[in-house]
Structures are given as C-alpha cells and as structure tokens.
Amino acid sequence: MSDLALWGLFVAVGVGTFVMRLSFVELYGRWRIPEVLDRALRYVPASVLAALVLPAVVYPNGHSEFVLGNPQIPAAVVAAWVAWKTRNTILTLAVGMGALWAFKFMGS
C-alpha cells in the first residue's frame, strides 16, 4: 500500500469516526428520544467504565487467567464499598490505593 493510500485511509477513518460521534450529539439534541431509551442511556458511562476497569483488575499485567491471589480484587471490592457508602471520589481513590498497598504488603 502506498503512503498516499495509507494517509487517505487514515483521513477517511478519522472523518468517519468524527461524523458518527457528531451525529449522536447533534441528533440527541434535535430528536425527541423515548423516555425508556433516555433512562437506559444514563447507564452507558458507568457500564463503559466498568468494561474498561474490570479486565485490568481481574487480569493484571495482561494475563489471560484468573489468579486467586490477586490483591487488586479485594482492593477493588473495598474501594467499591467506600464509593457506594460515601459517594466521595477522593476518599474512594485513597482508600482503594491504601487497601491495594496493604493487600500487596500482606501477600509478599
């Protein structure tokens, strides 16, 4: 593939991605979305965050198998509990990191 064709492909993919994202922003403001769909869309950010974070917690360092002695799992449970009880992001991060360090220290 020539350099010109490769750059053309990059530009086409970039423009296509931009148009797809822009269409959702523009259409969401102009169209009347049913209440059921609007309520369902409120859960999208949380589900995307969970889909990004969970594999990093459960499969550390890119391993493809579940490790029972993984200290990230109990630390994530502690952090999730703190987030649920307090709704405080800074406290959740601090307690989660403290729990991770404590579980790593106890495991080594």
* Domain hosting residue 63, numbered range: 46-107
> How confident is the model over 21-36, as pLDDT tens digits?
888 777 777 778 789 9
CB burial of residue 35 (10 Å; 0-12, 13-18, 19+): exposed
Q: Taking 60 as the threshold, does the pLDDT of residue 108 lie above it?
A: no
Phi (first) and psi of residue 22, to 5 degrees: -65, -35
- For residue 70, is it within any domain? yes
pLDDT reported for residue 75: 94
Instruction: Decide if 87 is inside a domain.
Output: yes
d(CA 107, CA 65): 19
Structurally, the chain folds into a number of domains equal to 1
The answer on pLDDT for 74 being more than 80 is yes
Q: What CA–CA distance (Å, rounded) separates 6 from 36?
A: 43
**Mean pLDDT, rounded, for 91-98:** 96
User: Is residue 81 a part of any domain in this protein?
Assistant: yes
